[in-house]
A = this chain, B = another copy of it.
């Protein structure tokens, strides 16, 4: 029986995960395969309960599971802890590293009924359809870091090994091959040595994909182009920190980060989570948008379990409720009727 580790986490994570599970249950009703769903603690909730952001039991369960479905973690309550014990450094980074989830994938596709939610002009974003691939277990996030005295200073090391770069570039090419065959590799090769290495490897790998067009773009220019002319992009591949910035930026094109799903993969195994955070300011109020989590669950069915039909059905159900005018607060325009978290989940189930 395939196993899914469910980690609601903190803040709105505890409200959006139940909606995703509801939708999964409905979508999998007729599926011959039965899944085992087990809940575990992570983040601030785990700190409060067992004193550690990533308890051994949770990590262990995630290692044994086929897929992990995560809500969101963190909140002001834990921000005064030493950095390494906080939810982000204490759970998110280690879980990525321990599960070897080196590829973060975020599709950004305009949903026609949400065009007006974007802060960009309709004609600029209406055909946006891209995938941003971010390297997730290397680079400056995981490099040596520390302090010097006399003179006082602090440092972080950005280091990339050849194989780390090669496998993510390959995934970029594979993904582009299955789409419009355009790969944009983002770096800062005019200044950084790690970027020059990145670019060399991209050029090497390109030889194995003569059918895919590769272009290189500096990260400063990429940030600009995502706002200037986002429809030019098919697949973007980049290193960890540039990807952190560009995926969040790209998420704005669709109007709301509340719509953005993400998969963090190591081969077939994956951790699926919404691109947004735990939003402590609206937690516990039935206000959060569960759609990014629901779409993350669809990605899980597709990437880990090859249940493409079921994934399609969930995605279509989400598009349908939006077409019907269902809006959570983050998507609503003045005058729209606003649904709560639960009601939005119910609407998606009904649309299935």
Contact = CB atoms under 8 A, between A and B. Distances in A.
Nearest to A251: B224
Contact of A156 (B146, B163, B192, B219): B192
Contact of A158 (B147, B156, B160, B245): B156
B193 A89 contact: no
Interface in A231-268: 241, 244-249, 251-252, 257
A124 B249 CA distance: 16
Contact of A191 (B89, B193, B223): B89
B227 A119 contact: yes
Interface string A66-106: 00000000000000000100101100010000000000000
A335 to B, nearest CB: 16
A255 B52 CA distance: 47
Interface string A151-191: 11111111111110000000000000000000000001111
A328 interface: no
State the number of copies, please: 2
B157 A88 contact: no
A71 B41 CA distance: 57
A157 B160 contact: no
A228 interface: yes
A197 interface: yes
A245 B227 contact: no
A153 B147 contact: no
A143 B244 CA distance: 22
B83 A196 contact: yes
B151 A163 contact: yes
A246 B152 CA distance: 27
Contacts of A147: 193, 197
A159 B154 contact: yes
Contacts of A146: 193
Contact of A151 (B124, B158, B162, B251): B162
A158 B161 contact: no
A40 interface: no
B151 A155 contact: no
A197 B252 CA distance: 29
A194 interface: yes
Given A190-B88, A191-B88, A193-B154, A227 B252 contact: yes
Contacts of A241: 188
Given A121-B120, A223-B223, A223-B245, A193 B155 contact: yes
A34 interface: no
9 contacts: A119-B124, A120-B120, A145-B193, A146-B193, A151-B162, A154-B198, A219-B245, A220-B248, A223-B249
Interface of A: 83, 86, 88-89, 93, 119-121, 124, 140-141, 143, 145-147, 151-163, 188-194, 196-198, 219-221, 223-224, 227-229, 241, 244-249, 251-252, 257
CB-based closest 7 A-B pairs? A154-B197, A145-B193, A152-B162, A220-B248, A155-B159, A227-B252, A223-B249
